Structure 1
Amino acid sequence: MAIIFVTGLSGVGKSSVIEQLKKEGYNVVDTDYGYIKEIKNEEIEEIIWDEEKIIQLLEKSKQSHLFISGTYSNQGKFYKHFDYVVLLKAELNVMLDRITNRTSNNYGKSPKQRAKVIDSFENVLPLLEKGSDIIIDTTRNDIDVVCKRLKELL
């Protein structure tokens, strides 16, 4: 059974794609909910994957295909467990517009968070690109096209 990891910055469509796959009956997990923890390194607070919970998720999902999504600094530790690491990306102006207009998630709406999204676009996105097996640009591709490409990986 295949495990497909969908990653990308805020506003690229990870949650929308995962929700659509769920509606289609696929086994999906958005790791933003129930699979993360906050850590403090000196004075820096960071939210990362709860590694024990991710290991448990991977162990119990060996009986069916699984799409999981998220973007955390420690996700690379788990790449060997995924059949594919798929990066969703979009142009910065499109990401910022999606963040501004979405109602399902408030992240990225404050000036501080918006600055973090822009910084991640410049500094984190190149790292995500290097670690990905497949890159899908969601700037002009709708959810159905992205989901079709993901399902082709199974």
Structure 2
Amino acid sequence: MQRILITGMSGAGKSSVCLELGRRGLDAVDTDTDAWCEWVGEPPDWQWREPELLRLLRTPRTRSLAVSGCKTNQGMFYAYFDQIVLLSAPLDVLLERVAARTDNPYGKAAHEREEIVRYFQTVEPLLRRGATAEFDTSILSVSQVADRILGQLSG
């Protein structure tokens, strides 16, 4: 069974795609919660809890696993993933999405929006280098992205 990381900037659709893959039969884990992440260092950085992620990724499975998230320490886990899927969209689309979403407060404050712009310029190019596939969620629906990810699993 394959392990897939779904990563990208805030507002790219990671959680939505992960949820859709779960509906379609994959084991799906959205890691943007206290169960999977913790604040580390100064200034505080929201990182994956290493023991929990290792346990998740090392557990034998009967179904493929989709993990969504974007954390500064995710690179140390890349070897455990068969695929690293980058979800991307133009910056203006990402900012519109985080402003409109109701299930996550991140991106509402001016300093958070500035952070998103900075991450778009500095972090997304790094994510792109490590990705095995990239899908633009400004032109593909959640369902279409899930179709393409599942197509990669079977082909």
Query: TM-score with structure 1 length normalisation?
Result: 0.94
In the alignment, is the contact (CA less than 8 A) between 2:25 and 2:63 conserved in 1? no
Moved over 6 A (4+): none
Q: What's 2:99 paired with?
A: 100
Amino acid at match of 2:135: I
- The total of aligned residue pairs comes to 152
Question: 1:67 and 2:66 equivalent?
Answer: yes
Q: Distance in 2 between matches of 1:52 and 1:35?
A: 9
Q: Distance in 2 between matches of 1:21 and 1:89?
A: 18
Q: How far is 1:85 from its partner?
A: 0.5
In the alignment, is the contact (CA less than 8 A) between 2:26 and 2:63 conserved in 1? no
Q: What's 1:56 paired with?
A: 55
Q: How far is 1:56 from its partner?
A: 0.6
Q: What's 2:40 paired with?
A: 39
Q: What's 1:11 paired with?
A: 11
SS in 1 for 2:55: helix
Q: What's 1:148 paired with?
A: 147
- Over 3 Å counting, the alpha-carbon distance change for 1:128 and 1:47 in structure 2 is same
Q: How far is 1:37 from its partner?
A: 1.1
Q: Distance in 2 between matches of 1:102 and 1:61?
A: 35
In the alignment, is the contact (CA less than 8 A) between 2:47 and 2:71 conserved in 1? yes
Gapped runs of 5+ residues in structure 1?
Answer: none
Deviation per CA, 1:44-81, whole angstroms, max 9, x where unpaired? 11111111000010122433210001000110111111
Deviation per CA, 1:68-107, whole angstroms, max 9, x where unpaired? 0100011011111101001000000011111111111111
What fraction of aligned residue pairs are identical, expressed as a percent? Answer: 38
